[in-house]
Amino acid sequence: MKLYDDYLNTIKTAISADRKSRSHLSTFSESKDSFYKAFSYADFNAQVPQMQLLPSLNNLANEIGLVPNFNQKLGLHPDFAYLKGTDKIENHYIVSVFIDIKGSTQLFSKYDPETVLIINTTIQRAAIHTCLVFGGYIHRLQGDGLFVYFGGKNITPEESTLRALQSTSVFTYFVKNDLKKLFEEQDIDKIFTRIGIDFGKTEDVIWSMAGIGEISEVTTCSLHTSLASKMQASAESNGIVVGDNIRTNTKLQFQELMQSVSKRTGDESDRYIYRIPGDKFFYTQYDLAWLRFLKMQPFIVTDFQGEISIKGSTSTSKNIENLRPIASQNKPYFNGKRKFS
């Protein structure tokens, strides 16, 4: 999709400079002299700034018309920041997303620790930047993964849900395809992601301060916040699992892309992620057909080979009229106009 080419090039540069990987460098077509140039963590931060999208991902932000908020603070959603240092609470809906990146431990067998740091941080930063593009709030970093909120006081639950699904589908495509190809060249088997997403209604979500003093964060107490991380564990490699509340928050054509996890596993006990039999509460978890979902988005076009790209990118804008018939078939509501939802 080329959306993350600038991030991938940074990983290639780091590998090219790593002393353990020099025997594999021919796959990257680097100049011989570059093999012996160090690429430090400071060099990485200069190449992949924390507070700036790289050009390839910035194309997506321009296409969907959203401006990332780089002024966030971990554990401090801006709409609820006033709760910090108080004993107040507030009920308000939120979409919770847990993104876990698996398999990075094997990198230590091939690369120096600083190279592993650069690789892991590049992937994590790509995930953060993607979530910011779609209006997500990074609540917490957990190892190689992250926990993200979508939603707030000036956006509808339906749009928040859509943004969460769009963001995670775009990032999953990157890990499953682009990142996989890079690591296969280095004989690394599996770097993959698992994602869980759930929606908590206003009456089911309590915002408050957790912790003490500065050892604290503004967070949510909700079954559905907890279920997002549990559903991540139910996902297959490069899979996205969503709760029933997410399904009911989406348009009908998207609901058809969600099927019970039990259909994949063949185990009926996997149908429900949470049960309260006494209350007759049985909460279903669903696999999202995220690639089909992604191809239905108005910022995506599909070429004759089935490859996808961002509609506003240079490579597609020149041929948009030729691609219009394919795009219309893959996106039922495609109308050629720039539209987010």
Token pair for residue 105? 């431990």
* pLDDT for the residue numbered 104: 87
On the question of pLDDT at 209 being above 90, the answer is yes
Q: At what angle do helices 5-16 and 113-133 cross, to 10 degrees?
A: 170
What is the per-residue pLDDT for 40?
A: 92
pLDDT category at 195 given cuts 50, 70, 90 is very high
DSSP string, 23-35: GGGGGGT--GGGG
Length of the chain: 341
How far is residue 286 CA from its own chain's centroid? Answer: 17
Q: Is 111 exposed, middle or buried (0-12, 13-18, 19+ CB in 10 A)?
A: buried
Is 126 within 8 Å of 53 (Cβ atoms)?
A: no
Edge-to-edge strands, sheet with 206-212: 90-91, 206-212, 215-221
76: enclosing H helix or E strand: none
Return d(Cα 57, Cα 133) in angstroms, integer.
Answer: 9
* For range 243-269, the mean pLDDT: 96
The pLDDT value given to residue 119: 94
Distances (CA, A) of 135 to 16, 51, 125: 34, 15, 15
Please, which residues have CB within 8 angstroms of residue 101's CB and are 6 or more apart in sequence?
120, 123, 124, 127, 144, 145, 175, 191, 192, 193
Q: What confidence score (pLDDT) does residue 314 get?
A: 42
Q: Element (H or E) spanning 211, and its range?
A: strand 206-212
Mean pLDDT of the 50-66 span? 90
Contact between residue 306 and residue 327 where contact means Cβ atoms under 8 Å apart: no
Distance CA 291, CA 308 (A): 10
Percent of the chain with pLDDT over 90: 70
pLDDT tens, residue by residue, 74-103: 999 999 999 999 999 999 999 999 999 998
Mean of pLDDT values over 11-23: 82
Mean pLDDT over the full length of the chain: 87
Output phi, psi for 20, to 5 deg: -80, -15
Element (H, E) at 287: strand 281-288
**Beta bridge mates, 196:** 98, 241
Element spanning 300, H or E: strand 300-302
Query: Given a cut of 80, is residue 309 above it in pLDDT?
Result: yes
Q: Which domains are assigned to the chain? A: 5-297 (3.30.70.1230)
Helix, strand, or coil (residue 267): coil
